[in-house]
Amino acid sequence: MIPIQATHVSAVVLSEFDGTYKMLLLDRVKGGYWCHVAGGVESGEEGWQTILRELKEETQIDALELHSADFLEQFYEAKKNRIMVVPCFVIFCKPNQNVILNHEHTDFRWCSLEEAKHLAPFANQHRLYEHVWAHYIEQAPSQFTRINIADV
């Protein structure tokens, strides 16, 4: 038996630089690879609350707008013999956003789609980035994916 777990969430973070959107990638200490913001859901948290907390902890960024990405990352984790299903979000932050990393990452880059796909090692990451680019940058996001964070 292989258990299926949904204990983590992730987000592609977007900021505009000189009229062009870029996505944030972080170089993880654990694992040593480039990825987007992600983290584990803590007791009592909703998934959207987790990703806003993780964003703040990992980068010191405050979200301006939050969307469900309408995308699930999924992969088999051999060391733990489990299938992970990770709900994804899209976070828009202020233009020319500064990043202050915590101890979980060694570096960050604001990337074009092609740059992000070049840095990220996993095919599922590439599919997520292509999906976000097509549905949140090349066209206006659907009103149905927006999550109201004004009351947070």
Share of the chain above pLDDT 90, in %: 95
In this structure, how many other beta carbons lie within 10 angstroms of the beta carbon of residue 73?
Answer: 20
Mean pLDDT score, 101-124: 97
Q: Return the CATH fold of 4-141.
A: Nucleoside Triphosphate Pyrophosphohydrolase (3.90.79)
In three-state secondary structure terms, 23 is strand
Cut 0.75: pTM above it: yes
Q: Could you tell me which of 97, 95, 90 has the C-alpha nearest to residue 147?
A: 90
- Alpha helices (H) along the chain: 47-59, 113-119, 123-132
Residues 6+ apart with CB under 8 A from 62: 55, 56, 93
Question: In this model, does residue 152 exceed pLDDT 70?
Answer: no
* pLDDT score recorded for residue 151: 58
Residue pair 86/73 in contact (Cβ under 8 Å)? The answer is yes
